[in-house]
Chains A and B, each alone.
Chain A
Amino acid sequence: MAVQQQIPNLVLQFFDTYAEAVLVANASADIVYVNKTFCRLTQFDSKEVLGLKEKHIFKVKINYHLVESLKVTHWESGVATKSGDQLWVKVSSSPLIYNNEELTVFTLVENPSIEQLKGLLKESENRFASLADASPVMIWMTDQDNLCYYFNKSWLDFTGQKFEDEVGTGWLQRVHEKDLANFNSVTEQLNNHEGYSLEYRLRRRDGAYRNILEIGTPRLLPDGTFAGYMGSCLDITEFKAVQNELANYTEELKRSNEELEQFAYVASHDMQEPLRMIASYVQLIKRSIESGKPTDELFDFMKFVLDGVSRMQLLINDLLQFSRLNKKGIPFTEVDLNEVVKVAITNLTNRIADNNAVVTYTPMPIVNGDVSQLTRLIQNLVDNAIKFKSAERTPEISISVKEREIDYVISVRDNGIGIENKFYNRIFVIFQRLHTRNEYEGTGIGLAVCRKIVERHGGEIWVESEFGKGSCFNFSIKK
């Protein structure tokens, strides 16, 4: 009965060295031989298998096909092991005639099942998910249509949403509406399936919008086809804040350096000039006295000395005013501009009366700022309007306000001599004057102070004017 009696031992020993499992059945499909590999694979002892029918081993036969020329059939089958597990194997069977006996030789190669593959895949995915979930970085994946189908724990923790709310395009609801357009900047990369990076604001679970740096990398299948994107998102809010602060400091430093240079220039020019006048004219007075020259000349010379002294005083006061603005002012508080305008006008009572000026104003808003600086600002602008009055008209100055989306524009309009538009920018630069000292007294600091105050409040200052008819100084201040 046993095949060993039909097939020489040598052949059987040879089968035992095979890495594949080998099984031999006789013409009536009784199993007459199994090799050692078969036993190891199925955990059966050969005695337990011999005598069983072939169909007891191979319960199903799928993907069955016959290679006619070689008389070999291939198929796949599940094979039960002694412990009850199911092995999936690829089987080749071929007929063998030996001593007129028709035998069939089966060779079996282990072949993982789709279920097993799914299991392996699942395990790999689990491994990825637990790695991704342990990462502090937000990670997501999209399919070919750029719809998100995976978010790691960090993402869901950050947005405070459930996976169902984020899947597909749901997560876009968390992006700041003004930043949705940022995605347009990477359209080309997305269409070409290239890597990209972009920034946008994303709403955190507490409602705060945070700056996010997103880096997307295309995922390619082994054959090179595009499978979607995989990306990471980092909260760079703090980094950006530090970066902005640094940029602000650099800007501030640059500005303060430029001002320092201007100061040095002033020390060499504007401040020396009155001193030089005083020294020179005192010397001329001395000469005049020594030579016994007419007294009217002496008075002329003294006038220049006194003029030098008062210019020096004016310069020192104005410079002091300007340099005080360099120091960090008091913290901003709520300021009622109605009060500011009132105080500024009160401070100028004598100047307004002496020049028969009329100053009017409309109701003013409440803003955030430094009350004493804002008073100085209005005061300087009104004072300026009076100084450059027209010789032909009574000075009329009106202060009004226009509300814009994010700020107010305060306007100080006069009917004075006006400014040619080529000088619009120069007037706000320190020590720049448009008129000789004979025409209008001044140090060229007043409007530079105004600009500085406006800039400290995050606004802008500009002038509109019709030469000969009047000027309108405007500044913006945040709501």
Chain B
Amino acid sequence: MNILKNSNDKPRILLVEDNPGDIRLTQEALKESNLDIHLDVVSDGEQAVDFLTHKGKYADAVRPSIILLDLNLPKKNGIEVLREIKFNDVLKKIPVIVLTTSDADHDISKAYGLHANCYILKPVDFDDFAKVIKLVEVYWFNTVKLPND
């Protein structure tokens, strides 16, 4: 019972990112983490929504604790994905961390307008990138309390 619960309680991150380079960077950064974090990756907006709503090949997908969301995505962009999450009564409780290269005011304003939980600019070098991932980890998994439902 305890073991099962533990495995279920393993922190899970859903990374919505189309750039293989960024996916690898995130994986590399998480390697340096002390936590045993499970990382799921989807590479476009439609896949992200399908994953969260258990559609098609994602029927068995486990709900993530937090979502790292890029904005510039193929098919359905990050803003559209964010809207679908935050307008869904079940999904809206999952914290969404927008992680993007866009520092455009209208993107930042739109993201918060759609209840993004925070908005982070992708740092330009790996050391800073690893620091950001570490901060996310410390804040969302060690500091705050996340909902259980």
A residues at B contact (CB < 8 Å): 264-265, 268-270, 272-273, 275-277, 279-281, 283-284, 287, 300, 304, 307-308, 423, 431, 433-438
Query: Given A265-B104, A268-B104, A281-B21, do A436 and B126 touch, yes or no (CB 8 Å)?
Result: no
How distant is B11 from chain A, measured CB to nearest CB, in Å?
Answer: 24
Q: Is the CB of A283 within 8 A of B125?
A: yes
Q: Within the complex, which residue of A268, A281, A435 is in contact with B74, where a contact is CB–CB below 8 Å?
A: A435
User: Chain B contact residues: over half helix, strand or loop, or mixed?
Assistant: loop
How distant is A32 from chain B, measured CB to nearest CB, in Å?
Answer: 110
What are the residues of chain A within 8 A of B44 when measuring CB–CB?
435-436
Cα A339 to Cα B24 with chains together (Å): 47
Query: Given A268-B103, A269-B102, A437-B20, do A284 and B74 touch, yes or no (CB 8 Å)?
Result: no
What are the residues of chain B within 8 A of A280 when measuring CB–CB?
21, 25, 124-126, 129
Shortest Cβ-Cβ A-B pairs, 4 listed: A280-B126, A283-B126, A277-B21, A436-B18
How distant is B103 from chain A, measured CB to nearest CB, in Å?
Answer: 6
How distant is A277 from chain B, measured CB to nearest CB, in Å?
Answer: 4
What are the residues of chain A within 8 A of B124 when measuring CB–CB?
272, 275-276, 279-280
Determine whether B60 belongs to the interface, using a CB cutoff of 8 Å to chain A: no
Q: Is the CB of B101 within 8 A of A269?
A: yes
Query: Given A280-B129, A281-B21, A308-B21, do A434 and B74 touch, yes or no (CB 8 Å)?
Result: yes
How distant is B116 from chain A, measured CB to nearest CB, in Å?
Answer: 17
Cα A368 to Cα B134 with chains together (Å): 60
What are the residues of chain B within 8 A of A284 when measuring CB–CB?
25, 28, 126
Cα A195 to Cα B74 with chains together (Å): 59
Determine whether B127 belongs to the interface, using a CB cutoff of 8 Å to chain A: yes
How distant is A303 from chain B, measured CB to nearest CB, in Å?
Answer: 9
What are the residues of chain A within 8 A of B21 when measuring CB–CB?
277, 280-281, 304, 307-308
Determine whether B72 belongs to the interface, using a CB cutoff of 8 Å to chain A: yes
What are the residues of chain A within 8 A of B104 when measuring CB–CB?
264-265, 268
Q: Is the CB of A436 within 8 A of B74?
A: yes
Q: Is the CB of A273 within 8 A of B101?
A: yes
What are the residues of chain A within 8 A of B103 when measuring CB–CB?
268
Give me 15 A-to-B residue pairs in the complex whose CB atoms sit less than 8 angstroms apart, sorted by A's number. Answer: A265-B102, A265-B104, A269-B100, A269-B101, A269-B102, A276-B101, A277-B19, A279-B126, A280-B129, A283-B127, A304-B21, A308-B21, A435-B75, A436-B18, A438-B43
How distant is B115 from chain A, measured CB to nearest CB, in Å?
Answer: 22
User: Chain A contact residues: over half helix, strand or loop, or mixed?
Assistant: helix
Determine whether B122 belongs to the interface, using a CB cutoff of 8 Å to chain A: yes
What are the residues of chain A within 8 A of B20 when measuring CB–CB?
304, 437-438
Interface digits, B2-44 against A, CB 8 Å rule (1 contact, 0 not)? Answer: 0000000000000000111110110010000000000000011
Q: Is the CB of B102 within 8 A of A268?
A: yes
Cα A66 to Cα B123 with chains together (Å): 117
Interface digits, B120-149 against A, CB 8 Å rule (1 contact, 0 not)? Answer: 001011110100000000000000000000
Q: Is the CB of B72 within 8 A of A270?
A: yes
What are the residues of chain B within 8 A of A272 when measuring CB–CB?
101, 124
Q: Within the complex, which residue of B22, B24, B122, B127 is in contact with A300, where a contact is CB–CB below 8 Å?
A: B24
Within 8 A of A (CB), among B86-122: 100-104, 122
Q: Is the CB of A273 within 8 A of B74?
A: no
What are the residues of chain B within 8 A of A304 when measuring CB–CB?
20-21, 24
Cα A436 to Cα B122 with chains together (Å): 19
What are the residues of chain A within 8 A of B127 when measuring CB–CB?
283
User: Quick one: which of A270, A273, A307 has the most chain B CB within 10 A?
Assistant: A273
What are the residues of chain A within 8 A of B100 when measuring CB–CB?
269
How distant is A140 from chain B, measured CB to nearest CB, in Å?
Answer: 57
Cα A276 to Cα B22 with chains together (Å): 9
How distant is A291 from chain B, measured CB to nearest CB, in Å?
Answer: 12
10 new A-B contacts at CB < 8 Å, known A272-B124, A273-B101, A433-B74? A268-B101, A268-B103, A269-B101, A273-B19, A281-B21, A283-B127, A308-B21, A436-B44, A437-B18, A438-B20
Q: Within the complex, which residue of A281, A287, A423 is in contact with B75, where a contact is CB–CB below 8 Å?
A: A423
B17: nearest chain-A partner, CB-CB: A436
What are the residues of chain B within 8 A of A270 when measuring CB–CB?
72
How distant is A279 from chain B, measured CB to nearest CB, in Å?
Answer: 5
What are the residues of chain B within 8 A of A433 when measuring CB–CB?
74
